[in-house]
Amino acid sequence: MSVTAATAWRALAARLPGADSRLEARLILEAVGADAVARPDDRLSALQRRRCDELAARRVARQPLSHVLGFRGFWTLDVEVTADVLTPRPETEHVVEALLAAPAPETARVLDLGTGSGAILCALLSERPRWTGVGVDASDAALNVARRNAMTAGVADRAEFRLGDWDEGLDERFDLIACNPPYIPTADIAGLEPEVRDHEPRAALDGGVDGLDVYRRLAPRLPHLLAPAGSAAFEVGMGQADTVAGLFAERLPEAAIGIRMDLAGAPRVVTVNQH
Ligand SMILES: C[S@@+](CC[C@H](N)C(=O)[O-])C[C@H]1O[C@@H](n2cnc3c(N)ncnc32)[C@H](O)[C@@H]1O
């Protein structure tokens, strides 16, 4: 049977779950080399149709689109995503924005705690050719993905990825610190969408009873990790910003603590500025 890209788009969109099914169907078509917008009348080959079907079946089974396609757009980069890393989210771009806006030396040293896919560190280094950085994660498998992402982003010679338990063993101070820790309260995980609950690494989600375990652990470490005029940006979950800002203010009474909103107007990033 012969099918045009436009017909395939409509059929796929009707089959896929979720509110973004039209966009997702278009991206799946692109992944098999068809463009339903620029070349709607092109006919799909048998191979393209079969490949489309395979990808759509995985999405219908509630695998995240990033796993089906193997990547997710983040900042200006296409970031490789596997089941070993959290899919980078648009709201995490506010962490990147906050640190690019912070005063920093030309040759700033950057620390990305819980680097996962390496998305934050790669985005920062791609914007500032003289910055160098370290990404830490407790998952070796995630670090392998991060290293590949650094190669693709052209920053591998300035990014080092280390296996570690948060800041354990780090004996350096950093001009900029990024951290998007697991912050979902343990009891909430069962109620998440299947794409997240069943396919994203538990260690990337579970923030303990109230979701705040990692902030509590890192707050007393910040004075030792930040350079004298350094800045940090931590992503936070719903309803956590004020508590996290309070934890940091207690440990860094001289620092300016700020809260940045995401595009939906929700408090999303807590910033610490030592100036
Ligand atoms: C929410 S994900 C963030 C990933 C990535 N930075 C991003 O923003 O897309 C949290 C990351 O923290 C890592 N992690 C969990 N426990 C850790 C630990 N004890 N030490 C270091 N990293 C840890 C997880 O493996 C995961 O990659």
CA-nearest residue for atom 7, ligand 1, is: 88
Interval 136-165 mean pLDDT: 98
Stated pTM of the model? 0.96
For residues 210 and 239, the answer to whether their CB atoms sit within 8 Å is no
Domain-wise residue ranges, the chain = 5-61, 71-273
265 Cα to the center of ligand 1, angstroms: 25
CATH of domain 71-273: 3.40.50.150
275 — pLDDT class (breaks 50, 70, 90):
confident
Which residue is it, tokens 């966009």? 23
Question: CB of 92 closer than 6 A to ligand 1?
Answer: yes
Atom of ligand 1 nearest to the CA of 165: 20
Confidence of residue 68 (pLDDT cuts 50, 70, 90): very high
How large is the average pLDDT for residues 96-123? 98
The overall average pLDDT reported for the chain is: 97
Candidate from 122, 137, 218 with most ligand 1 atoms within 8 A of CB, to mutate: 137
Q: Is 142 in the pocket of ligand 1 (CB under 6 A)?
A: yes
Q: Which two tokens stand for residue 222?
A: 């910040």
Tell me the pLDDT tens digit for each residue of 33-58: 999 999 999 999 999 999 999 999 99
CB burial of residue 62 (10 Å; 0-12, 13-18, 19+) = middle
Phi/psi of residue 234, nearest 5 degrees: -115, 125
